[in-house]
Amino acid sequence: MISVYYFGAISLILIGLYAVLVKKNLLKMLIGLSIMETGVNLLLVSVGYVAGRSAPILSEGIGPNQAVDPIPQALVLTAIVIGVATTAMALSVAMILHEKYGTLNVEEIRRLRG
Amino acid sequence: MLKRALAIITLIIIGYWLAQGLAGVPFGEDKMLVGQYYLDNVKEQTGAVNAVTAVVVNYRGFDTLGEVTVLFIASTGVGALLWRRKKQRTAKTEGSIVLTTGTRLLVPFVMLFGAYIFIHGHLTPGGGFPGGATIATAFLLLYMAFTAYEIPHKAFEKTEGAVGMAYVLVGLIGLAIGGYFLYDWIWQDWGFGVDNVGRLLSGGFIPIIYTIIGLKVGTELSGIIDNMLKEEVSE
């Protein structure tokens, strides 16, 4: 039986993928990409979870055996930053496309280019 | 319609495949292989209480340098894509009285909170990246509230370059002292803050690196905001 946390993460990934596949507006596709990214991050964090343990901050009462795996969290920290960078790049490309073609509809942009 | 149906079929296949894969990775069970080593040794080896920051800055510090570089390239790319000869802010209205007054009151505190997040990176959740993003939100607030506001470009560019070099410099000092890049000489050689673990003045060079990263991320994200808010004005 698949856990509800995995189910949530997979649903987010699929919702984002649906937007990327079906939507025609570039901004909506980028929103889908962001949702997908959130799903992937959630999936990574939930893979690192250990039942009954606390966040990996070794303060009072939390020893090395009471903390969850820190590596997925560190990976997700990296992934979020890279996600912000790619989103910023994609948004500026979308701005330029809108300036050049006057539309954000991917099909029209494709048609104008031939 | 056909496209939508095809998309849904693809999604069902991918979803089934993902669920099948994850069914072999049971949720909430102990799967740590390397993580347990980090948890066992993090206090002695790095002086940090927060294991995530220790992994990001100490064990995988070189990756973080690459990450900062990716962010730098992205902000440069945004600048290059949106570069024009004539660029100006074209905001038409000033923010409402609530927004302007609130911004005037809040901006110093937002910045202070960002600084708090990145200075305490080795103790509490957070670190350079969220701290820097918080500082960038202060500049976003200023941009939203005032039509004529501009970030101090000269100072920002200089800070960005200087902190970028400072990161490499910290790594190179480690190379000179300890024999490998990003060697934590403050903790390993000086033993600075050994009987202070869990308080602010500990954690080896993690607070220094995180201050550097926080300043770099803050300036870069503010630069991205600045680039995106400006528009070309025709003569």
Distance CA A55, CA B50 (A): 9
- Record the pTM: 0.87
Question: What integer pLDDT is reported at residue B232 of this predicted model?
Answer: 67
- What confidence category does residue B5 fall into, taking pLDDT thresholds of 50, 70 and 90? very high
Model confidence at B99, in pLDDT bands (50, 70, 90)? very high
Compute the Cα dihedral for A86, A89, A94, A95 and give only its sign. Answer: positive
| Interface check B234 vs A, CB under 8 A | no
CA distances, B88 to each of A22, A101, B123 (Å): 36, 22, 42
Give the pLDDT of residue B220.
92
pLDDT at B139 over 90: yes
What's the token pair of residue B202? 């500990």
Mean pLDDT for A77-103 is: 88
State the amino acid at position A82 in one-letter form: I
pLDDT in tens, B32-87: 888 888 888 888 888 888 888 888 888 888 889 999 999 999 998 988 888 775 66
**Cβ pairs bridging A and B (under 8 Å):** 144
Surface of A (27-86) touching B: CB under 8 A: 43, 46-51, 55-59, 64-65, 67, 69-71, 73-74, 77-78, 80-82, 84-86
Write down all domains in chain A, each with its CATH number in brackets.
Answer: 1-50+68-113 (1.10.287.3510)
- Give the residue with greater pLDDT, B42 vs A32: A32
Residue A1's pLDDT is what? Answer: 61
CB B81 within 8 Å of CB A94? no
Cα separation, B208 vs B58, whole angstroms = 12
Query: B89 φ, ψ to 5°?
Result: -80, 135
pLDDT for B42 equals 85
How many whole angstroms separate alpha carbon B192 and alpha carbon B189?
8
- Residues in CB range of B231: below 8 A, 6 or more apart: B87, B88, B89, B90
Which of the four pLDDT bands, split at 50, 70 and 90, describes residue A47?
A: confident
Q: What residue of B is the nearest CA neighbor of A43? A: B22
Average pLDDT over chain B reads: 87
pLDDT at residue number A27: 92
Rounded to the nearest integer, the mean pLDDT of chain A is: 87
Query: Closest Cα of chain B to A84: distance in Å?
Result: 8
B188 Cβ under 8 Å from any chain A Cβ? no
Average pLDDT (B155-159) is 91
Residue B123: CB partners within 8 Å, gap ≥ 6?
A57, B48, B49, B50, B198, B199, B200, B203
- The mean pLDDT of A29-37, rounded to a whole number, is 94
Question: To which residue do tokens 């959630």 refer?
Answer: A42
